[in-house]
Chains A and B, each alone.
Chain A
Amino acid sequence: MPIFASLLFIVIAILFPLFAASAGWHGLLGIVIPCAAWAVFVFGFVWRVVVWARSPVPFRIPVTSGQQRSLSWIKADAAENPSGRWGVALRMFLEVALFRSLFRNTRTDLYKGRPVYGRTKNLWLFGWLFHASFLVILVRHLRLFSEPVVPMADTLAAVDGMFEIGVPTLYLSDLCLLAAAAFLLLRRIVIPRVRYISLAQDYIPLLLVLCIAGSGLLMRHFDKIDLVAVKELASGWICFVPTLPEGLTAVFFVHLFCVSALLVWFPLGKLMHMGGVFLSPTRNLANDSRRRRHVNPWNAPVKVHTYEEYEEEFRNQMKAVGLPVDKE
């Protein structure tokens, strides 16, 4: 069922801009919705991070797969079980840049009635491809947001289109994004166990990304668009002089609306793992539970009765029965 709800959402996300574009609501589609979506994205993102940062993290959670730092003659694994700040930074880098924990993914199969465990790298490979190509595409779009174009966007575009397939050049990142998003979506639909736990909020971002990539490829290679008009629109946003150039097509408005929908969706759902990965207690805390005392920050103040106070209270009685006292 969630897949049908998600499909309905996507159909609306495509039909609404098509309808609005034909009704002539270009100001709404080209300026109001994208700018509002960007504001929701930035403020929502900061808000979510602040809420997370305010929650206390009382304990170190050493979810590890390496030897912790111990005696000098036992070799410690600094990246897998860090004992200090640099180890944590290394583990976080491996997690964010290379998806280290997905690399450890395993798969269980029944073999002659027995469960057999094996390694599987599909999810890691396609997940990484998905994120990496998304990042490349995002940086390439800087050519529409900078004048003169930032060299990074130029360089990346040159590397991305190095095979020079067709005119305009086919970007490898576009292909990778489409393939990886399709894999991630099919995985949720085809594997029964994953389908069982998949919700609309798992399908919708993937479908939105597929829509964005599809409409982008359409504009680049088939239903061609006037790039100068697009950059004029984009520079209107960032220079705070909203302009609505002529020549923006319906496909462009679908692209822009899906991007806006994704931006609004971002702080509201699981896409916040972009900020959240840095706040994972299992990733960002060093395993030093045995070497440093960590006091629970929300411990209630306990009323204690020290021995000095006890002796003060009962000194006379203690003396009377002949018990030794520290102070006479």
Chain B
Amino acid sequence: MKGRRGGLIAIGIGLAVFLALATYPFWHAAGKAMPVPELDLETPAIRALPARLCVAPTAEMKTRHMQILDEWRTEVVRNGRRTFETPDGRRFDRSLTRTCMQCHSNKERFCDRCHDYAGVKPKCWDCHIVPETPSGEASAAVAGKGTLK
């Protein structure tokens, strides 16, 4: 009978571990809100645009921006082609800091919000220096380490 009790205790511990692991996300999220990140699109450069258009439609930029950046890097670094033309004929310099971050000038309130939310660690800043946030905007992202949590 003693062995049977030991077995029951072992089963109890095992099931408790299973339930704890299977329901872990619920405990982790309990009592916390998981707000969807909101991007700050109100930079001076964007406000000054005649029409709010990026280099590609929003849906494509949301899902493919990292691939576009990768293509741009290859074109510039390997092929030396710096000019990008959109299907509707607008021309851009293929540059993260001189094109993308002219409009999206605040890394902390644009790039980092989604990347932190989705647990993405882009390699951009291994080489690039985060441009200084233009005056007139809150919070300076100089070191590129600061994140909004």
- The CA of A1 and the CA of B3, in the complex, are separated in Å by 46
**Distance from B58 Cβ to chain A, minimum over Cβ atoms (Å):** 10
Q: Interface size of A by Cβ–Cβ distance < 8 Å? A: 41
Contact indicator A167/B25 (Cβ below 8 Å)? no
- The CA of A49 and the CA of B7, in the complex, are separated in Å by 12
**Given A45-B22, A228-B117, A247-B62; 19 other pairs, CB 8 A cutoff:** A45-B18, A49-B14, A49-B15, A142-B25, A147-B29, A149-B116, A157-B119, A158-B121, A167-B67, A167-B70, A224-B64, A225-B63, A228-B62, A231-B36, A231-B117, A238-B28, A238-B34, A245-B36, A294-B3
Q: Counting chain B CB atoms within 10 Å of each CB, which of A45, A53, A143, A147 scores highest?
A: A147
A171 contacts B by Cβ under 8 Å:
no
- Chain B residues with Cβ below 8 Å from A239 are 29, 32-34
- The CA of A239 and the CA of B30, in the complex, are separated in Å by 7
Could you give, for residues 12-40 of chain A, a 1 whenever the CB lies within 8 Å of some chain B CB and a 0 otherwise?
Answer: 00000000000000000000000000000
Residue in chain B with minimal CB distance to A46: B15
Contact indicator A228/B36 (Cβ below 8 Å)? yes
- The CA of A157 and the CA of B7, in the complex, are separated in Å by 38
B contacts, CB < 8 Å to A: 3-4, 7-8, 11, 14-15, 18-19, 22-26, 28-29, 32-34, 36-37, 59, 62-64, 66-67, 69-70, 114, 116-121, 123, 149
Q: Of residues 164 to 195 in A, which have CB atoms within 8 Å of B's CB atoms? A: 164, 166-168
Contact indicator B22/A228 (Cβ below 8 Å)? no
Contact indicator A149/B119 (Cβ below 8 Å)? yes
Q: Which of B69, B114, B121 contacts A228 (CB 8 A)?
A: B114
- The CA of A245 and the CA of B36, in the complex, are separated in Å by 10
**Distance from A190 Cβ to chain B, minimum over Cβ atoms (Å):** 35
- The CA of A153 and the CA of B33, in the complex, are separated in Å by 20
**Distance from A243 Cβ to chain B, minimum over Cβ atoms (Å):** 9
- The CA of A257 and the CA of B66, in the complex, are separated in Å by 27
Contact indicator A42/B22 (Cβ below 8 Å)? yes
Contact indicator B149/A224 (Cβ below 8 Å)? no
Q: Which of A53, A157, A228 contacts B37 (CB 8 A)?
A: A228
- Chain B residues with Cβ below 8 Å from A294 are 3
**Distance from A147 Cβ to chain B, minimum over Cβ atoms (Å):** 4
- Chain A residues with Cβ below 8 Å from B24 are 142
Contact indicator B4/A146 (Cβ below 8 Å)? no
Known: A146-B29, A167-B66, A167-B67. A53 touches B11 (CB 8 A): yes
Contact indicator A238/B63 (Cβ below 8 Å)? no
A-B contact pairs, 19 of them (CB 8 A): A42-B23, A45-B22, A53-B7, A57-B7, A142-B24, A145-B28, A147-B117, A164-B123, A166-B70, A224-B63, A226-B63, A228-B37, A235-B29, A235-B34, A238-B26, A238-B29, A239-B33, A275-B14, A297-B4
**Distance from A3 Cβ to chain B, minimum over Cβ atoms (Å):** 32
A150 contacts B by Cβ under 8 Å:
yes
Contact indicator A145/B116 (Cβ below 8 Å)? no
**Distance from B83 Cβ to chain A, minimum over Cβ atoms (Å):** 21
Residue in chain B with minimal CB distance to A227: B118
- The CA of A49 and the CA of B19, in the complex, are separated in Å by 12
Residue in chain B with minimal CB distance to A57: B7
- The CA of A148 and the CA of B119, in the complex, are separated in Å by 8
Q: Counting chain B CB atoms within 10 Å of each CB, which of A150, A226, A235 scores highest?
A: A235
- The CA of A153 and the CA of B121, in the complex, are separated in Å by 12
Q: Which of B4, B19, B32 contacts A42 (CB 8 A)?
A: B19
Residue in chain B with minimal CB distance to A53: B11
A312 contacts B by Cβ under 8 Å:
no
**Distance from A185 Cβ to chain B, minimum over Cβ atoms (Å):** 27
A128 contacts B by Cβ under 8 Å:
no
A9 contacts B by Cβ under 8 Å:
no
- The CA of A50 and the CA of B8, in the complex, are separated in Å by 10
- Chain B residues with Cβ below 8 Å from A126 are none
- The CA of A46 and the CA of B66, in the complex, are separated in Å by 43
Contact indicator A148/B149 (Cβ below 8 Å)? yes
Known: A45-B18, A142-B25, A147-B34. A153 touches B118 (CB 8 A): no
